[in-house]
Amino acid sequence: MRQEVTFAQALEGTLVLVNDAHPLQAWPGPEELSPALPDTPRVLLRRPAAAMLSALMDSLSAAGRIVPVSGWRAHAEQEALYADSVRDNGLAFTQTYVALPGCSEHESGLAIDVGEARDEIDFLRPAFPDTGVCAAFRAAAPRYGFILRYPDGARHITHIGSEPWHFRYVGVPHAAYITRRGCTLEEYIEELRAYTPERPLRLHADGRDWRIFRVALSQSGAAFEAPGGCLWQTSADNCGGLIVTLWGAP
């Protein structure tokens, strides 16, 4: 069955690549945001990401041991954060740990910085060791659709230093694949260019079989064929394409 997605609809999604070469093209409205956790009303995420973060925290009984530090940021907030960091920490530090305004995943509402619960928490670099409940969170995150976005040794690709506290929601099958491959979101988006409706990437995750492919996005939008009886989601990649994820297909 032929499915059509308008250009405006195709600007958003959980796989949008946001970095210094790919500024954000669409921002969430207030109705699309929700508290990252029920008891943190000032830290917001897009609703699907918030629901999955809450489920992840519940699975680990992590309340009171892990705290959300920073979620969605308005563009003006990112501008102020960047300027304040340059003033207080210098340009080199800021370029390592703070994204340029318009190029921050936090503006998308899909990124969350988490920290180990302590009396004092650094807003820019919260402590999140690879031990205890923090290590358990990191290991379980892909099952709930989150990836460690800025792994150690990947700055030449992401242009951001290692941030063990920064997690990005991309969705379950994608998070499982990215983590298993040990790649970055940049590398995954580039890899998906090779997968077409005729030759999709086939994955098994979360007890389901998934098919993933990319179609070109034009000013009129994009179209693709989805077999009857299957469910599908689409996401812009912010690189001129639309990523289609199918499951439940015959």
- Mean pLDDT of successive 10-residue segments in the chain (250 residues)? 81 94 94 95 97 98 96 97 96 96 97 97 96 98 98 97 98 96 98 96 92 91 86 94 88
Closest among 49, 22, 7, 15 to 244, alpha carbons compared = 15
pLDDT at 2: 87
- Please state the separation of Cα 242 from the chain's center in Å: 16
Distance, CA of 221 to CA of 10 (rounded, Å): 7
Closest among 165, 148, 245 to 205, alpha carbons compared = 245
Residue 60: HSE in the Cβ half-sphere, 13 Å Cα cutoff: 23
pLDDT at 225: 85
pLDDT at 249: 62
Q: Count of residues for the chain?
A: 250
- Residue 32 has which token pair? 């699309």
List the catalytic residues: 163
**Residue indicated by tokens 């989601």:** 233
Amino acid (1-letter code) at residue 188: Y
Closest among 61, 28, 20, 22 to 169, alpha carbons compared = 28
